[in-house]
Structure formats: structure tokens, C-alpha cells
Chain A
Amino acid sequence: MKTVNAWLPALSAILAILVDYGVGNIDKHMPAKHPYFMYLLVVLLGVFTISALLSYFNLKVKKWIEDRSLFIAVTILFLNIINIVTKKLGLLPVIFFPTLDKILSIIVEDRDFLALCLSSSGKLLFTGYIFGAIGGFATGIAVGFSNSANYWISPLIRILGPIPATAWIPLVLISFPTTFTASAFLIALSVWFPTTVMTSSGIFNVRNAYFEVSSTLGAGKYYQIFMVGVPAAMPHMFIGLFNGTCASFITLMTAEMLGVKNGIGWYINWQKEMMAYANVYAGLIIIAVTFSILITLLFKVRDNVLVWQKGVIKW
């Protein structure tokens, strides 16, 4: 990939600008207030021109841009093609496939309302996630270390665990006082299951010799649980948390679309019913960005907690 030019992203942006500027629009679409796609392209052009220039002086920037330049250029080209197919030629049904200008205009002009939706989703997700993760750790550790917890709880996990949290919606919505608590419970449930299973299996898989070593070093029972069993099982716990995070996103969206009357999932569903597809796409973009930020954060936390694993296990 060494030959890939650092200028490719900027060139791709210039091409898209030329197309958007030079080719006439089809008049099937409702025009947006501002040419937002053009704004975006200009910003991209600016960013990638600067980074291409910097790559001559700074090795870090050079490596960064050269690793990604082809991918970024193709992504911009892809946006360019979408722009041609929708705004320029109108090849797709106009109602379902609005222009990029329109979608971006929603994100910009509706930002207050979208932020409100996002924050209420965030609150719900966070509440459920915290309870689910803590509950999952606690149950997993109990099952991993206590025979009687294992005896009583394991079958329960095996029976209840595989049921998707969303399948409980009809029951949960009527048995909780508010839709918020009901949805938070469902999210907690969806995080709890994978976290519990991976935590306990992680603990079962800890080499017994670690416990033996620690007992000859004078560690008591609880010290062994929390200073040997838990850290040794940490890689498994993170896999559980990761699965739980993905499950919680699904549950959040479903809960919002079915019950809760606010949040980004509800927004998408509502706009779909109003046939406002530009808003639906705007919502989807926001979800995609938010969720990928959350997953990235989780990975960052994991990398920090599991520095000792570098070179031991490849993720």
C-alpha cells in the first residue's frame, strides 16, 4: 500500500465537488435550504489537503494518511455516486431515497430535537447497562466460586438466558410502573446474560495452579477470588460485556420503537410512519456514529485494563 498517494482523498473530494457543482439537478426532489453536501465536501477537502501537506513533514501523519487514504477516497467516491444517483439523476424512488443535502440538513437543522432524543436514549441505555453489567459480574462471580450458587443459578441462566430480552416486552411493559423502568430492566437483562455467562466461564477456566500459588503465598479465600480469579477471568468478562453491549443496542431500539415514547429509536419509527425518510436516515446515521463511539470506548477501556495481554492474546 506504499504507493497509495496521500492526495487520493483530496482528489476524490475535488471530483465530488466538481460533479455536485457542474452537473444539473433533477427537479423531482424538494431542495434543501443550503447545499449541505457541498459544505461537507469542502470540509473534507480542507482536512485531507492539510493532512496530505503535513505528511511531507510529519511521519505520524504520513503513516496515518497512507494507511487509510484508499479507504477514505473510495468512501468519498461512494457518497459522490449516491449524490449522482439521487440528486442528479433521480434514479431511485424519491420518497425513500432523499438527497444527501436533505439528510444532512435534518442533522443540522433538527439538531436540538435529535440531541434531546439521543440524551433520553442515552439515559435509558446507561441506566440499564450499569445495572446489567454489575448484576452480570456479581452473578458470574457467585456462580464461578460458590457451588450452591452454581447449583441454583446455573439452570436458571440456561433456561432464561437464551430468550431474547425483547421477547419479554409484553410481560415487562405491564408489570413495571413506567415504560422507562420497564425498558431499563430489559436492557439490563440483555447485558446481564452474556456478562454472567462469560464471567463464570472465565472463572471456571482459570488455571487451578494460580489459586494454588496464591494460597502458598498466604492469600485468603476472598483475596483469591478478587485478586486472582477476577483478573484472570477479565478477558472473558470483556467478551461478555461486548456481547452485552451489542444486545443492549438491539433491546434499546426495540424497546423505544415498541413502548417508550421518546429516544432516537422512537424518532426513527415515528418519522418512518410520517414517510419522512430523510429524517429516518439522519437518525440512523446518528445511531451508527454513537454506537460505534461507545464500542470504541469499550475497546479503549479494555485495552487499558488488559495491557498485560498484549502479546499474549490477539483480539
Chain B
Amino acid sequence: MVGKIKVEGVVKRFQQQNAEEVIALSGIDLRIEAGEFVSLIGPSGCGKSTLLRLIAGLNGADEGKLYIDNEEIKKPSYERGLVFQDPMLFPWLSVYDNVAFGLKARNIYKTNHAEVQKFIDLVGLSDFSKSYPHQLSGGMAQRASLARALVNHPKVLLLDEPLGALDAFTRMNMQDELIRIWKERGTTMIMVTHDVDEAIYLSDRVIVMTPRPAKIERCIDVQLARPRARNNPEFLSLRSKILEILHFTGTVTEPNYYL
């Protein structure tokens, strides 16, 4: 299996407008196994997006190093696909051409063009492959942008709140879709989310981050059998444990009912 991510002592600082320095990440150490599904969760501004951008290679670290399969990450690559919170489809290209973009950019469209339709079908946009992005709903656009990242067969898929804009119903469908793709492809998934339930439902491991200092607070293994039930007591106890770490509960340390 490929797609192992290693983050070693990464520090990232940003210069704000008023010349003040913001420490977006202060000393992050993290290992993500190949084929693992990991969620990053934490309050707004704690550096989740920044960490993804560093792994993607869009920004460089001020200190420390990042590796994929023991190779240092220096610049963006199709091996690390990124799905932004905003779908960021190219508005001048149809859904089909958006999805085909990566193959064309890598000059392998001729040999692999069957993939394009396959992934469009996979995300359920078969009837919309000729549509332009402005003709899609938010959820459809998000699915198209997922297909665009998947068609490249990345080793690692970085997802920055990809389901944030969706309604609860579409969202749950998409979660199952993600699980299916992940199982089928064995891609390492690193997903930022604000939704504790989503994190537990999807991941092998939930990584809780805190702001100021922007650090990893705790890594929580989710050892629930799949497919997971959202009302399973263990699920609920994990949920309150995470909420507690995030300081969203009072003093409750145990689930408020027992088996």
C-alpha cells in the first residue's frame, strides 16, 4: 500500500496585515498509515486547512518536514488530490471537461479517457456531464469536484470540509459514497470536518486540534465495525468524549445512559 504521510515537527507562521505573526501550526507531529481514513476536527482557525495545504504542497513549512512514503513533500502533485470546501470547479469547462482536466494536464487522457465517464457515473452525475458548473446545485458541484480529484487516482485524498455545504440528507449519502470509494481504492483519506458525528462515522482515527497553541490535542481511535450505526452506544460515547475534549459539554464524562 502507498500513501503513508509523515509530519515531523511542522511549524507554520503567517504574517498578518498588521505585521503581527499568527502561528497557524506550532510543532505538529503526525503519522498517517497508508490507506487510513483520518479526520481532523477542531475549532475554526486552529490550522486544519493550513495542515492540509502543507500536505498538498501548496505552502511550505517554516520548520519541520513532511513526507509521503518517505519522500519529502516539496510541491503539489496529482498524487495528493485536494478537494476544497468551495468546489472550485473551472467555470469555463463542462462537468466532463472539469473531471478530465487532470488526465489532460498529465497528458494521459488519450489512454485513460474511459475513466472520466466512470467517475462521473460514480458520483451520480451521468446526466449532467455536459452541464456547466453554474447549472449545478451546490451538492452536485461538490460531487463533481470529488470526481475531478478521484480520476487522477491519488495516493492521498485531502478533503477540506467537502460536505460542509450539503444538506443533511445529501451529506449522509455522500458519506457512504466516500466510504465506498475509500474501500474500493484503498486511498489514504485525510478529511477536515466540523461535524463530530461525521468524523466518527467515517474515520479510523479522529485527530482533535486546538488553537493557540495550534497543536494536536488528541488522537482518538475509532474501533467500530463498519458499516457503522450512528445510534450505537459506543458511537455516542465516543461522541461525548470528543465533544468534551472540544469543551462543548459540561462535566459529563460518561454517556448519560448505560447498557
Give A residues with C-beta under 8 Å from B. Answer: 209-210, 212-220, 223, 227-228, 231-232, 234, 306-312
Number of interface residues of B (CB under 8 A): 30
B163 an interface residue at 8 Å Cβ cutoff?
A: no
Q: Are A216 and B92 in contact (CB under 8 A)?
A: no
CB distance from A226 to the nearest CB of B (A): 11
Q: Are B152 and A209 in contact (CB under 8 A)?
A: no
**17 A-B residue pairs with CB within 8 Å:** A210-B90, A213-B82, A213-B88, A213-B90, A214-B101, A215-B58, A216-B58, A216-B77, A217-B102, A218-B77, A218-B105, A219-B101, A219-B102, A227-B101, A227-B105, A308-B91, A308-B133
In whole angstroms, what is the CA distance A216 to B135 when docked? Answer: 25
Known contacts A217-B152, A231-B92, A232-B92, A212 near B58 by CB under 8 Å: yes
- Measured between beta carbons, the chain A residues less than 8 angstroms from B148 are 217
Known contacts A210-B90, A227-B105, A308 near B152 by CB under 8 Å: no
Taking CB as reference atom, which chain A residue is nearest B102?
Answer: A217
- Measured between beta carbons, the chain A residues less than 8 angstroms from B182 are none
Q: Are B86 and A209 in contact (CB under 8 A)?
A: yes
In whole angstroms, what is the CA distance A224 to B135 when docked? Answer: 24
Q: Are B78 and A311 in contact (CB under 8 A)?
A: no
- Measured between beta carbons, the chain A residues less than 8 angstroms from B138 are none
Taking CB as reference atom, which chain B residue is nearest A208?
Answer: B58
B30 an interface residue at 8 Å Cβ cutoff?
A: no
Q: Are B88 and A209 in contact (CB under 8 A)?
A: yes
In whole angstroms, what is the CA distance A209 to B152 when docked? Answer: 19
B149 an interface residue at 8 Å Cβ cutoff?
A: yes
B247 an interface residue at 8 Å Cβ cutoff?
A: no
Q: Which of B77, B91, B92, B105 contacts A214 (CB 8 A)?
A: B105
Q: Are B88 and A308 in contact (CB under 8 A)?
A: no
Taking CB as reference atom, which chain A residue is nearest B81?
Answer: A216
B37 an interface residue at 8 Å Cβ cutoff?
A: no
Q: Are A216 and B93 in contact (CB under 8 A)?
A: no
Q: Which of B56, B57, B93, B105 contacts A223 (CB 8 A)?
A: B105
Known contacts A227-B105, A308-B93, A311-B135, A216 near B88 by CB under 8 Å: no
CB distance from B116 to the nearest CB of A (A): 13
B134 an interface residue at 8 Å Cβ cutoff?
A: yes
B12 an interface residue at 8 Å Cβ cutoff?
A: no
- A215-B58, A217-B81 given; name 5 further pairs at CB < 8 Å: A214-B101, A217-B102, A227-B104, A228-B90, A308-B93
Q: Are A209 and B84 in contact (CB under 8 A)?
A: yes
In whole angstroms, what is the CA distance A231 to B133 when docked? Answer: 15
In whole angstroms, what is the CA distance A231 to B91 when docked? Answer: 9
- Measured between beta carbons, the chain A residues less than 8 angstroms from B104 are 227
- Measured between beta carbons, the chain B residues less than 8 angstroms from A212 are 58, 76, 82
In whole angstroms, what is the CA distance A210 to B58 when docked? Answer: 12
CB distance from A239 to the nearest CB of B (A): 16
- Measured between beta carbons, the chain B residues less than 8 angstroms from A215 are 58, 75-76
- Measured between beta carbons, the chain B residues less than 8 angstroms from A227 are 101, 104-105
Q: Are B58 and A217 in contact (CB under 8 A)?
A: no
- Measured between beta carbons, the chain B residues less than 8 angstroms from A307 are 132
Q: Are A217 and B86 in contact (CB under 8 A)?
A: no
Known contacts A217-B148, A219-B105, A231 near B90 by CB under 8 Å: yes
- Measured between beta carbons, the chain A residues less than 8 angstroms from B84 are 209, 213
- Measured between beta carbons, the chain A residues less than 8 angstroms from B81 are 216-217
Tell me the residues in window 72-110 of chain B with beta carbons closer than 8 Å to chain A beta carbons: 75-78, 80-82, 84, 86, 88, 90-94, 101-102, 104-106
Interface core residue of A213, A220, A227, A234 (most chain B CB under 10 Å): A213
Q: Are B101 and A217 in contact (CB under 8 A)?
A: yes
In whole angstroms, what is the CA distance A313 to B94 when docked? Answer: 17
In whole angstroms, what is the CA distance A232 to B82 when docked? Answer: 20
Interface core residue of A209, A219, A220 (most chain B CB under 10 Å): A219
Taking CB as reference atom, which chain B residue is nearest A228?
Answer: B90
- Measured between beta carbons, the chain B residues less than 8 angstroms from A310 are 132
Q: Are B102 and A218 in contact (CB under 8 A)?
A: yes
CB distance from A177 to the nearest CB of B (A): 43
In whole angstroms, what is the CA distance A312 to B148 when docked? Answer: 22
